[in-house]
Structure 1
Amino acid sequence: MELFGRHAETAVLDRLLSRAADRAGSGLVLWGEPGIGKTALLDYAVEAASDATVLRCRGTRMETGLAFAALHELLWPVLDRLETLPAPQAAALRGALGMRRDPANRFLIGAAVLSLLSGLARERQVLVVVDDAQWVDEASALCLGFVARRVATERIAVLLTGHEDPASGPWEGLPALAVGGLADEDARQLLTAVVPGIDAALADRTVQAAGGNPLALHELPTLDRETDGEAPLPHAGNPVPVGPRLRRAFCARAEALKPSTRALLLLAAAEGRGDRHVVQRAGAAWGIDTSAWDEALRSGLLHASGSRLEFRHPLIPAAIYDGSPFTERQAVHQALAAALPQDATMERAWHLAAAADGPDEDVATLLEHAAEECLRRSAGPMAARTLGRAAELSPKPADATRRLAAAARAAWHAGNAEAARQLLEEAERLSGVLPVVRQSGGLRGILEFAYGMPERAHHYLTSDMAAVPETRRAVELGTVAVRAAWSAGRSDLQQAALRRVRAVDVAADSAVSELMPVLENWWSCYDLTGEAIPTTRDLASDVVGRLGTVAWELLPPVPLVQAWGIDGGLLDVLRMQAVQLRRRHELTALALVLAQIAVLDTAAGRWGAAEQAATEGLRLAEEIEADHVATQSRACIALLAAARGEHRAVEEQTNRMLQVSVPRGVRALSASAYWIRGRAALFDGRPQEALSDLLCLVEPGHEAAHTTFALLAAPDTVEAAVQVGNNDVVGFQLAMVQEWAQRTDATWARTAGHRLTALADGGSAAEESFRAALDVAGAGTQPFEYARTRLLYGEWLRRARRRADASAQLAAAAETFDRLGAGPLRVRALREQALTDRRAAPRGTDPPTVAGLTAQELRVARLAADRLTNREIAAQLLISPRTVGHHLANVYPKLGITSRTELARINFDGDLRLS
């Protein structure tokens, strides 16, 4: 039938399909109230894409709890294409679709579906249509959302419909189009097409009652005529929302049928999956015979195709179910539970739960067992909902508390922190705080650490250590408390938490007892503010190796590992953790580990891998609304942007970092943002601005003051201070690095100590320090920092007029910067090399050139001709901006010019005449 009043919507669909045909695929969510015409728009798109491969499915209320049910329906026509997928993807997808018993791996399944669709799209355009997405099971929804966000270069269009604005949830980030009601004139045209010759008065009442809802325009006038004028249309002065009117309308249609047919429709509505065999078995004892089936199918409310049942519109089963008395719904669910196969544990549990009219321990236990099966299949969200319902049916508060706590843990692991927090609060209202702490394993502190304020997390975690029954869990909570204090920049709280960890009696747990010295030494050797605690580099390295097989809570933060200089070992541990967390679908912890992997890959010069890990971690963290973890991923992205000279990206990412970290007191993240800003300014030739940001790291009481980051940022701080001539800062920072190098023997600290000594000296003794920095064993494992040392050494050699040596160092530095994509420093190295490779001036004290310029004036003039600012020239030549201005004031009259514009026209490779 023709679509009325939908020109704007169909134009959007046409553009979507056209772009997809040109390999610019996209997803689109059509949303609006039931009956508003979303399905009709889907039908329009399917017809418009007549040459495309169309894959279609529809969410159903009953299958909402069945993992991958919608995906099974969607891919059923193309299951023969599974053979074309890589073996791991094919195995994962077969497991999801019930063809194998492989555990579900969300990432592999999403990748498999994307690969499958991409393969189809190579043959012809693909249109994926998902109707009633609000009832699609969560596993399918997350998979389809994953796919829809990744088809930008494919001949694939993904269309979904739902009732709510998809601003959050699995469709978050996808384009959305709100489908509203029809205008009165368009509604009249549709009504006339549906009911030719309709009475004008009835038409007016129908248009007013329908409120622009096309489904109401189809159904209400027909019902009015079928009930001899006693239609359930509202009085003109008594408007009622469309939803209730339509429910009454559909119920009126069902009430006209005989009782056994109505019972059949209620069974089908409550069953929800469209399984005709289950409905038939459930209805057999109710006297539902062939005549009832015939009447139901003739009514047009229900359609049958083979073993599948489908209502004409999803609003119909909702209306029938909601309009039935509870006693009837209760009996229907009991009948359906009895009719299910023995292995349908989850479905039976939920039907019995729906039939329960009060606390029922047997049903609650059955739900709990079903949730355990969900957890074994890594279906955390479904497990959380199932345990929540089990808690509602628990007769004893203690059992309800236990189940709510377990639901909270399942929700946390699945990445739904808000649901976890609400479940914990509900449990606390039942039984108080301490029982919930015991049952949840101190989850409130972990949630606060990951999402809230680190000082409050420290308080929860240290308090809850004594409440949890397991020794290992107490140690884990204490270790996270130490980390929370470190994040807050509170060394006093850090030591207090460490004392709590030391006080745990681990004698009864041999595994924890063996681990305890490792943890104690690890955190003790990082007391940057206190006295040096005797330890060895081998012991610290052993700590990282021993932690590779334990929970993520025991892993140290990456900046501390970098400070100790044993990050290579931790990278292997984190990669192992990532594999395990993916397998268990622990999304929050996985996002955290990915962010830390990205930082380590950046330091090791694997910038492509780092960006990939950071981007994935950020996307995952944003999907689960883990702000702290997202901020850590942003830090890595901003760090790369600073080295690449991407000023806008640095500003955007660090602003968003500070928006999260400052109000919550997460000084580690705030310090990271200031450090990144300082590096960006330093690399861009703005040393004074860089120094202003970097000195915040050591300013008492500042929002970015943090001992660890101040130490790690010392090489940048000293370089900026040298360029602006701030010797007081140089001495303090250099002493800090040298002390740490002596204490830990960390490669980076030894290298930095030598490099900063050379910068601070600046004279003839600097060469020895530069050479020592380059010769430190392992210094080359951080190629970016190694190239920075070569650049500074090359600049020193050029000033010492050792052209050949300078050129070699500068060329090597430029090559590394080019390979990494560090644009600003590459340009600086190449400029220095160009100055070095030009004919040297005769020896003496700045003899005049043929144009009367001294050698230094010539250097300044060349850089000014390249449109560098005075500040940038000063940074390049290690002089002050005022000195640059003095030289230019001499250059202009010597060359007979008056401005930089004319200076840019000078041929500096010729005889310095105007070109």
Structure 2
Amino acid sequence: MASRIAAPTELFGRREETAALDGLLSRARGGSGGALVVWGEPGIGKSALLRHAHGQAADFVRLSHSATRPESDLAFAGLHGLLRPLADRVELLATDQAAAVRTALGLSGEPTDRLVVGAAVLSLLCGLAERQPVLVVVDDGQWLDEATALCLGFVARRVGTHPVVVVLADHSDPAARPWEGVADMRVDGLSDEGARQLVAAVAPLTDEAATRNMVREAGGNPLALHELATLGGDLDDAEQRRKRGRPPVGPRLRRAFRAGIEALSPPAQLLTVLAAAEEHGDRLTVRRAGRASGAGDAVWDEVTNAGLLHVAGNRVGFRHPVVSRAVYEGCGAATRRRAHRALAATMPEEAEERAWHLAALAHGRDEDVARLLERTAARARLRGATSTAARAWWRAAELSAAPIDASQRLAEAARASWDAGWAATAERLLDDAERLAPGAHVARRSRGLRGVMEFARGMPEMAHHFLVTDMKRVPEPGTALELGTLAMRAAWSVGRGDLRDSALELLLEGDVEGRTGLPGALAWWSDDVPADAAPADTPDLGDAAARARATIPPLLPPTPLALAWGIDKPMADALRRRLPHLRRRGERARLAAALAQTAMLDHAAGRWPQSESSAAEGLRLAQDLGADHIASHCRTSLGWLAAARGDERAVAEATARTLETSLPQGVRALSAAAYWNRGMASLFRERPEEALDILVRLTEPGHGAEHPTFALLAALDTAEAAVRVGRSDLADERARVLEAWERRTGAPWARCAAHVARGLLGGARAEGAFRAALDVPGARSHPLLYARAQLSYGEWLRRGRRRTDARVRIGAALEAFDRLGAEPLRQRAQREQDLTGSPGRRGSSDTRALNRLTAQEQRVAQLAAEQLTNREIGVQLRISHRTVGHHLGNVFAKLGINTRTELSHLHAACEPP
């Protein structure tokens, strides 16, 4: 939230409105006048538009006035404020007109006629305009006295032939006002983009999550945005209001709306408060309470005719949510209590809303009402209304008579707040619960929230401690299972097998939901790669997938492990089935985590647009929650996609943001994912030495990015980088790891990657390895891996001068990379395809000379012309630097040149214009 407030210096999202005002001023400069009534609800930005017009009219005679309610009953009070600077020009008018204006300005006691006053003011303004255009600006026109309003309406309808502009602002539709017939412009709420720009100008330090909340709550009302930003500093007050389901409204907005409401009769005012207090908009309930309070049908007509309430069928509501909040907060406490008492009296005893109205009436402690609210909260949680449940438990805690009861209800409120996405609120409520009455009941009632929050935002090892401790405290088997598997995730994220085993032991010993399926399912939580794994150990993939589909979601492993074990498809299916349920229930924390997992599974399966969408949505939710690690998980998927697409700036940004939190907090899984993304980006951009230097950190003991699962998933990348820099020993070691893992799991991706790694190492069995990689059942379900296998095989064939066969393999890879959007790999495949094809374009003598080169010589020549060294060319073409020198000697001989500079000039001359 912002810590300081600034005044914006420009209008945002008001292009059409300012264009209309600027057009009026422009026409006046050309000799034609006009008038405009700007109208809309309080705080919508009318005054800002009037200030814009005033500021744009520096070359005009400018007359301005802001009407006030206290002067609305004084005849010609508005005209006095507007024309006071022109008092010395009154005598220039005709005698009867001068007398009329003197009377209107209070300079004479002579009787006057309003028509004569109108004509006199018109003459006065038109006389001024003979030398210089005139601008008349009147704000808060709804408070103008009747005489002034009639006069200005008379003038506004008659200035068209003179360079006079009249701009009036009003709350109501001008059709029924004294300026009927004058052009009008309704000012509506800002678009979301305009609202965001305004927040950025008003409170430049506001974070993204707070900005989204402000934009949503203000409903496009600029004054509401200003005041929400201002109230952001008073967090306690803001959250006290949120607790009751009412976002805060500032004093200026309350005053703006109260002025209109106070013009109503007392029964009508009470009716508006009844409608504001009945938050569901039930017209029948409001009508019954209104009749019991003396607000009959005539009062309804008064309120609806004033435009405050809108009735549609059995629903009643205000034209804008800000109006409802301003009405409710602007009335006195006694009026609010009267409204709640009347509404509660209309409801049956078991109605949930009755508990809320009784709570609004309660003074001090009231255990009876607290129990009613507790039952309301429990029912709300069952139907997935977590935000309602949080508010009910929070209010019940306030009304609790005993500290232990208050503590338990605060713990429940904390958990519901977390599920609803109110992370900061959840943390403070949990702290309050523990401070008020420490004990195991806090863990029981919050369902182990301390460890859940630490896992999402803090240090995994600390989260593991909280989670395994609270597993023994919670009574529900399902909750114990959730905490235990979360503890295993925390252990996995720091690469601590000992911590994983301690959580596993508790799960196997305890009375937890799904206990009978634990032994088989929890095998998937291991990333140990036994070097002595035998082919007989390989499970049937179909059986593994079937078991994964039948396994309850908490028992499924972290997404990278699911990918490693080859159960990614059933896990993705389970997550997709779960997402609608989480959305319906409003469980934003679980939804963010599920989206982060779905994104990773989708990008591995080649569903890149879906992956990007899920990761972006999950990132927004996680940022709102303050769930840093879930946000980093989403950034990992976005960084992976950026690496595959060749967007190195996005890779750098995503990984830097991740490492800011993951390295200090020891979240090795996230750090490893960030390093993997960086290594892939370098490898795909053909910087293998840089890629290898990054990727070896995944297996470096003690490094912050050391993690066995990600070292396994990145094994092929590491092997390819190692081969390309001449580290066959390291490539062979990575190939053996993949082979051992494939023997253990039978995962298609691992089998394919192991064969590709063997093929990259070359030798007599290289072609058999590449063919075996492409023949692995299920390998096509990982399209990027499969396309890379095609490309590697095609490159091997091309280097063996089997160009026709190479063209088929490389062409298939090229098509896949193009379909996926893997630009760096597409460029590499295109280059390899060019080397298998016919000579390039023919034309000039220079071009014909280049065309005499072989395909490989052309490629060497092109890279040499780009001033790459022989070693750099060798890395890109996967040939030795000595072979590069040999080809380059042939190039110079065939072209009759001696230097790379001449080669650069020759290539430049052959470039198309």
**Aligned partner of residue 14 in structure 2, secondary structure:** helix
C-alpha spacing 1:539/1:883, structure 2 compared with 1 (3 Å): closer
Superposition deviation, residue 172 in structure 1: 5.0
Superposition deviation, residue 482 in structure 1: 0.9
Which residue in 2 is equivalent to 1:767?
Answer: 767
Residue 518 of structure 1 is aligned with which of 512, 520, 541?
A: 520
1:656 aligns with 2:650: no
Contact 2:791–2:810 (CA<8 Å) still a contact in 1? yes
Moved more, 34-43 or 794-803: 34-43
1:802 aligns with 2:797: no
C-alpha spacing 1:836/1:854, structure 2 compared with 1 (3 Å): closer
The one-letter amino acid of 2:798's match is R
The one-letter amino acid of 1:585's match is G
Any residues of structure 2 matched to 1:198-213 within 5 Å, and which?
Answer: none
1:437 aligns with 2:443: yes
Which residue in 2 is equivalent to 1:3?
Answer: none
Quick one: distance in 2 between partners of 1:317 and 1:789? 62
Which residue in 1 is equivalent to 2:460?
Answer: 454
Contact 1:718–1:734 (CA<8 Å) still a contact in 2? yes
Which residue in 2 is equivalent to 1:203?
Answer: none
Which whole-Å deviations, capped at 9, do the CAs of 1:537-565 have from their partners, x for residues lacking one? Answer: 54886566456567643321111112112
**Aligned partner of residue 514 in structure 2, secondary structure:** helix
Quick one: distance in 1 between partners of 2:862 and 2:297? 97
Which whole-Å deviations, capped at 9, do the CAs of 1:702-760 have from their partners, x for residues lacking one? Answer: 11110110111111101101111123322322222222222223222222222212222
Superposition deviation, residue 696 in structure 1: 0.8
Quick one: distance in 2 between partners of 1:247 and 1:771? 75
1:336 aligns with 2:343: yes
Quick one: distance in 2 between partners of 1:831 and 1:291? 81
C-alpha spacing 1:590/1:529, structure 2 compared with 1 (3 Å): farther
Which whole-Å deviations, capped at 9, do the CAs of 1:477-521 have from their partners, x for residues lacking one? Answer: 111111111011222222222222222245xxxx62322223343
Contact 2:44–2:188 (CA<8 Å) still a contact in 1? no
Residue 171 of structure 1 is aligned with which of 203, 212, 224?
A: 212
Quick one: distance in 2 between partners of 1:685 and 1:429? 57
Which residue in 1 is equivalent to 2:508?
Answer: 502
Superposition deviation, residue 357 in structure 1: 0.7
Any residues of structure 2 matched to 1:807-846 within 5 Å, and which?
Answer: 807-838=807-838
1:693 aligns with 2:694: yes
Superposition deviation, residue 812 in structure 1: 2.0
Superposition deviation, residue 668 in structure 1: 0.8
Which residue in 2 is equivalent to 1:863?
Answer: 863
The one-letter amino acid of 2:789's match is T
C-alpha spacing 1:784/1:382, structure 2 compared with 1 (3 Å): same
Quick one: distance in 2 between partners of 1:700 and 1:7? 53
C-alpha spacing 1:533/1:625, structure 2 compared with 1 (3 Å): farther
Quick one: distance in 1 between partners of 2:759 and 2:311? 83
Moved more, 428-437 or 889-898: 889-898
Any residues of structure 2 matched to 1:17-96 within 5 Å, and which?
Answer: 37-38=43-44, 40=46
C-alpha spacing 1:167/1:651, structure 2 compared with 1 (3 Å): closer
The one-letter amino acid of 2:817's match is F
Which residue in 2 is equivalent to 1:232?
Answer: none
Contact 2:272–2:327 (CA<8 Å) still a contact in 1? no
C-alpha spacing 1:789/1:868, structure 2 compared with 1 (3 Å): farther
C-alpha spacing 1:40/1:794, structure 2 compared with 1 (3 Å): same
Contact 2:646–2:681 (CA<8 Å) still a contact in 1? yes
Quick one: distance in 2 between partners of 1:807 and 1:534? 35
Which whole-Å deviations, capped at 9, do the CAs of 1:439-466 have from their partners, x for residues lacking one? Answer: 1221221222122221111111111111
Quick one: distance in 2 between partners of 1:782 and 1:479? 28
Quick one: distance in 2 between partners of 1:823 and 1:693? 21
Contact 1:261–1:295 (CA<8 Å) still a contact in 2? no
Which whole-Å deviations, capped at 9, do the CAs of 1:591-639 have from their partners, x for residues lacking one? Answer: 2222222222222222233233333333333343432222222222221
Quick one: distance in 2 between partners of 1:174 and 1:252? 25
Quick one: distance in 2 between partners of 1:611 and 1:267? 46
Contact 1:724–1:880 (CA<8 Å) still a contact in 2? no
Contact 2:539–2:745 (CA<8 Å) still a contact in 1? no
Which whole-Å deviations, capped at 9, do the CAs of 1:215-269 have from their partners, x for residues lacking one? Answer: xxxxxxxxxxxxxxxxxxxxxxxxxxx9879989999999999998997887677
Superposition deviation, residue 310 in structure 1: 7.2
Moved more, 309-318 or 621-630: 309-318
Contact 1:128–1:159 (CA<8 Å) still a contact in 2? no
Superposition deviation, residue 373 in structure 1: 4.3
Which whole-Å deviations, capped at 9, do the CAs of 1:89-125 have from their partners, x for residues lacking one? Answer: xxxxxxxxxxxxxxxxxxxxxxxxxxxxxxxxxxxxx
Residue 475 of structure 1 is aligned with which of 475, 478, 481?
A: 481
Residue 356 of structure 1 is aligned with which of 359, 362, 366?
A: 362
Quick one: distance in 2 between partners of 1:565 and 1:855? 41
C-alpha spacing 1:539/1:494, structure 2 compared with 1 (3 Å): farther
C-alpha spacing 1:437/1:751, structure 2 compared with 1 (3 Å): same
Residue 365 of structure 1 is aligned with which of 371, 377, 396?
A: 371
Contact 1:685–1:871 (CA<8 Å) still a contact in 2? no
Which whole-Å deviations, capped at 9, do the CAs of 1:803-857 have from their partners, x for residues lacking one? Answer: 22222222222222222222222222222232233589xxxxxxxx999989965
The one-letter amino acid of 1:171's match is R
Which residue in 2 is equivalent to 1:597?
Answer: 598
C-alpha spacing 1:382/1:715, structure 2 compared with 1 (3 Å): same
C-alpha spacing 1:533/1:403, structure 2 compared with 1 (3 Å): farther
Contact 2:223–2:253 (CA<8 Å) still a contact in 1? no
Quick one: distance in 1 between partners of 2:292 and 2:639? 67
Moved more, 625-634 or 667-676: 625-634
Which residue in 1 is equivalent to 2:750?
Answer: 749
Superposition deviation, residue 767 in structure 1: 1.9
C-alpha spacing 1:587/1:282, structure 2 compared with 1 (3 Å): closer
- Alpha-carbon RMSD across the aligned residues, in angstroms, is 5.2
Superposition deviation, residue 684 in structure 1: 0.8
Contact 2:458–2:665 (CA<8 Å) still a contact in 1? yes
C-alpha spacing 1:486/1:870, structure 2 compared with 1 (3 Å): farther
Any residues of structure 2 matched to 1:572-721 within 5 Å, and which?
Answer: 572-721=573-722
Listed as ranges, the gaps of 5+ residues in structure 1 are: 1-5, 20-33, 46-125, 132-144, 182-212, 214-241, 841-848
Quick one: distance in 1 between partners of 2:335 and 2:498? 64
Which whole-Å deviations, capped at 9, do the CAs of 1:403-424 have from their partners, x for residues lacking one? Answer: 2232223222222222222222
**Aligned partner of residue 171 in structure 1, secondary structure:** helix
Superposition TM-score, scaled by structure 1 size: 0.67
Contact 1:862–1:908 (CA<8 Å) still a contact in 2? no
Moved more, 480-489 or 344-353: 344-353
Quick one: distance in 2 between partners of 1:41 and 1:343? 48
Which residue in 1 is equivalent to 2:877?
Answer: 877
Superposition deviation, residue 280 in structure 1: 6.9
The one-letter amino acid of 1:458's match is H
**Aligned partner of residue 373 in structure 2, secondary structure:** helix
Quick one: distance in 2 between partners of 1:748 and 1:18? 60
Moved more, 341-350 or 780-789: 341-350
C-alpha spacing 1:385/1:292, structure 2 compared with 1 (3 Å): same
Residue 412 of structure 1 is aligned with which of 418, 423, 435?
A: 418
Contact 2:310–2:319 (CA<8 Å) still a contact in 1? no
Contact 1:686–1:872 (CA<8 Å) still a contact in 2? no
Quick one: distance in 2 between partners of 1:607 and 1:315? 44
Number of corresponding residues: 717
Quick one: distance in 2 between partners of 1:358 and 1:741? 66
The one-letter amino acid of 2:390's match is A
Quick one: distance in 2 between partners of 1:622 and 1:721? 38
1:400 aligns with 2:406: yes
Quick one: distance in 1 between partners of 2:765 and 2:283? 89
C-alpha spacing 1:128/1:716, structure 2 compared with 1 (3 Å): farther
Quick one: distance in 1 between partners of 2:413 and 2:43? 37
Moved more, 820-829 or 256-265: 256-265
C-alpha spacing 1:405/1:552, structure 2 compared with 1 (3 Å): farther
